[in-house]
């Protein structure tokens, strides 16, 4: 097996998934807020910033943009899926306009119709976008679930199809047979890559016992207060990429905390927001963050995560400070209160 993900696949390459030139945008004066809450102006003149989001090469030879736009969490519908949410639709169209090419959806979010309509109305060629969705309902009919998602997405295929969680399975055999069904839909051309979400080492170990195809990635909650070191080491050993949801949690939902002052100082140093520091912290560790916003300026700002790099010392300090607190925002009922796996 591979000792690290970098041995399994060539990783960061300064390329764009898009065939047209890399996007340049103009950022006008704006205020940032430090830990004291006082406004700090970092830009008082226009600055032209060229985004060049790196790619992550997966173990099957495909590549994904290392900054994704998600249609879950705040966007997820609680009511009738067939009722179009124009906020979600406009949000996805705005993200595509800003050059977010990695678009993350799921059956569970009930936003596949909006995601598909936004893709169709964007005018961007299908092959220039990286579309992800996940199955959650009928785990005994993976092909039927994927075809239903494709119909809602108005697509012939997705770039990555994930099993949303392992918690449906009551036996090892269920985990293995479901993965075998995933391999079949990939072989049928309904998805280019297959992977999982919210899997732990024990679940992945079971799958790998019988798998013909190693999962391309595992999408997990990941931020400084939930670093999942054992799980990430397992990923690297087996060449499984990591994508992260909730990457901003430590500077949003989990405040106050031990990283606050240091993140504020880094935001000041790099003239960005703490959210952008959080995204870069992921990218610099070969983790693909998935984030979202309904605000165009904020989404535009997030792209600046591709314009700077944290130093190894800064990453280490964030990691050490983050280990002083534990916070899990999702699937809490499945874990012990102090469980960091």
By annotation, the residues acting in catalysis are: 109
Q: Is 164 labelled a binding residue? A: yes
Beta strand spans in the chain (E): 24-27, 30-33, 39-43, 47-50, 55-57, 63-65, 68-70, 102-104, 130-135, 158-163, 191-197, 217-221, 241-245, 287-291
DSSP secondary structure letter of residue 217: E
Rounded Cα gap, residues 166 and 116, in angstroms? 26
Neighbours of 162 (CB within 10 A): 28
Neighbours of 309 (CB within 10 A): 13
Reported for 176-183, long-range contacts at CB under 8 A and 24+ positions apart, including other chains, are: 176/206, 176/207, 176/209, 176/210, 176/211, 178/139, 178/142, 179/207, 179/210, 179/211, 179/215, 180/210, 180/212, 181/142, 181/143, 182/142, 182/213, 183/211, 183/212, 183/213
Q: Read off the tokens for 249.
A: 């949690």
Note whether 178 and 142 are within 8 A (CB): yes
Task: Give one DSSP letter per residue of 6-51, joined into a string.
Answer: HHHS---B---SSSSPPPEEEE--EEEE-TT--EEEEESS-EEEE-
**Which residues belong to the annotated binding site for substrate?**
164
């Amino acid at each position: 097996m591979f000792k690290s993900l970098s041995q399994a696949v060539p990783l960061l390459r300064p390329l764009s998934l898009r065939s047209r030139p890399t996007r340049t945008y103009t950022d006008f004066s704006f205020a940032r807020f430090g830990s004291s809450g006082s406004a700090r102006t970092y830009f008082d003149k226009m600055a032209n910033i060229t985004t060049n989001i790196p790619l992550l090469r997966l173990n099957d030879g495909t590549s994904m943009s290392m900054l994704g736009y998600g249609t879950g969490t705040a966007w997820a519908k609680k009511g009738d899926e067939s009722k179009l949410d124009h906020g979600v639709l406009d949000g996805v169209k705005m993200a595509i306009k800003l050059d977010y090419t990695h678009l993350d959806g799921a059956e569970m979010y009930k936003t596949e119709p909006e995601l598909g309509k936004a893709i169709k109305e964007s005018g961007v060629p299908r092959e220039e976008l990286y579309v992800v969705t996940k199955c959650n309902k009928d785990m005994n009919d993976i092909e039927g679930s994927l075809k239903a998602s494709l119909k809602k997405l108005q697509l012939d295929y997705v770039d990555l199809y994930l099993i949303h969680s392992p918690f449906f399975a009551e036996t090892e055999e269920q985990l293995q047979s479901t993965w075998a069904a995933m391999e079949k839909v990939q072989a049928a051309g309904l998805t280019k890559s297959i992977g999982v979400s919210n899997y732990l080492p024990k679940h992945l170990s079971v799958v790998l016992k019988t798998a013909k195809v190693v999962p391309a990635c595992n999408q997990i909650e990941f931020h400084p207060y939930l670093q999942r070191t054992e799980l990430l080491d397992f990923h690297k050993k087996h060449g499984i990429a990591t994508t992260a949801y909730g990457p901003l949690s430590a500077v949003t939902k989990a405040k106050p905390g031990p990283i606050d002052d240091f993140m504020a100082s880094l935001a000041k140093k790099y003239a960005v927001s703490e959210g952008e520091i959080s995204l870069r912290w992921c990218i610099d560790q070969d983790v693909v963050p998935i984030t979202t916003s309904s605000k165009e300026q904020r989404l535009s700002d997030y792209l600046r995560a591709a314009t700077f790099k944290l130093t190894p010392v800064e990453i280490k300090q964030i990691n050490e400070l983050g280990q002083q607190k534990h916070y899990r925002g999702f699937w809490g009922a499945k874990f012990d209160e102090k469980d960091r796996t």
